[in-house]
A and B are shown apart, each in its own frame.
Chain A
Amino acid sequence: MKESLLEILCCPLDKHDLELEDAEYDGDEVISGTLVCSECGERYAIEDGIPNLLPPDMREETPA
């Protein structure tokens, strides 16, 4: 993901800002890292350049 995407992303739970931690870059792309809610502290992983912003209770849903 591009870092500029952060401007339009928010915590899916409380809609507060997200802060980027432990970012690894490939050029201007964030390839991995963690997005952390500045309010509730919930953590959202970025893997292979894709932020997973599902609310925590939906993360376990993995149909076959």
Chain B
Amino acid sequence: MDLADRRGLETDVYQPAEDSQLLADAACRRIDDGLVLEVGTGSGYVADRIATETDARVIASDVNPHACRQARERGLEAVRADLVSPFVDDAFDAVAFNPPYLPTEEDAEWDDWMERALSGGESGREVIDPFLAAVGRVLAPGGVVYLLVSSLTGVDEVVERAGEEGFSAVAVADESFPFETLTVLELVR
């Protein structure tokens, strides 16, 4: 499955798909309350599920202004942000992220918001790596990260990188599809 298949007709905001659902299911099972951030919220689906199904207060952030508007229209607290950069230290009990993870040839990329939502650059990890480097700062003591990863991105590589940032990773959900296996990693320190 490549970007063209994933894009469909929507060009501004990534709409919920199997990956969103898997992440929402795993996060809702494991979060009770507290303050939760969803990075790259897109349509706001995952954040909305957590806000509805748990007692947590949920903040939804995205770099894409159209996504921020969709999230706010769902009644979520939306912030336009680059990953976790405008949040204070030790703020969140949990951070959920369904990142852009599809490996993409540079010349095959589209220069629009949907490409930003899907493409993880050549490695598939060009957004995941800076996220892993930054997220520890905003996690409260005992805080947890729920990160969706695809076999196309390389789960082992992500786990190794998370380890370098001081996290231990456990797979808490996975689901196989014809071209990829999706995994939700729970990262703790």
Q: What mask results when residues 91 to 116 of chain B are scored 1 for a CB within 8 Å of chain A, else 0?
A: 11000000000000000000111011
A10 and B35 CA atoms in complex are apart in Å by 16
Residues on A with C-beta less than 8 A from B47 are: none
Contact B113 A63 (CB under 8 A): yes
The verdict on A9 contacting B79 (CB below 8 Å), with A48-B69, A50-B72 known, is yes
The answer to whether the Cβ of A40 comes within 8 Å of any Cβ in the partner chain is no
Residues on B with C-beta less than 8 A from A15 are: 88-89
Contact of A63 among B79, B91, B115 (CB under 8 A): B115
A50 and B68 CA atoms in complex are apart in Å by 7
Contact of B88 among A9, A58, A63 (CB under 8 A): A9
Contact B86 A9 (CB under 8 A): yes
Contact B111 A53 (CB under 8 A): no
Interface size on B, residues (CB 8 A): 25
| Residue of A5, A7, A50, A53 contacting most chain B CB atoms (<10 Å) | A50
Residues on B with C-beta less than 8 A from A64 are: 111-112
Minimal Cβ-Cβ distance residue in A for B91: A8
Among B27-68, those with CB < 8 Å from A are 35, 59, 63, 65, 68
Contact of A53 among B69, B77, B85, B91 (CB under 8 A): B85
A50 and B63 CA atoms in complex are apart in Å by 12
Minimal Cβ-Cβ distance residue in B for A58: B82
Q: What mask results when residues 1 to 23 of chain A are scored 1 for a CB within 8 Å of chain B, else 0?
A: 11001011111100100000000
Instruction: A12-B81, A53-B79, A55-B85 given; name 17 further pairs at CB < 8 Å.
Output: A1-B77, A1-B78, A1-B79, A8-B59, A10-B86, A10-B88, A15-B88, A15-B89, A48-B69, A50-B78, A51-B79, A51-B86, A52-B65, A52-B80, A53-B81, A55-B82, A58-B63
5 tightest Cβ-Cβ pairs between the two chains A and B? A53-B86, A12-B85, A12-B86, A63-B112, A52-B80
Which residues of chain A have a CB within 8 Å of any CB of chain B?
1-2, 5, 7-12, 15, 44, 48-55, 58, 63-64
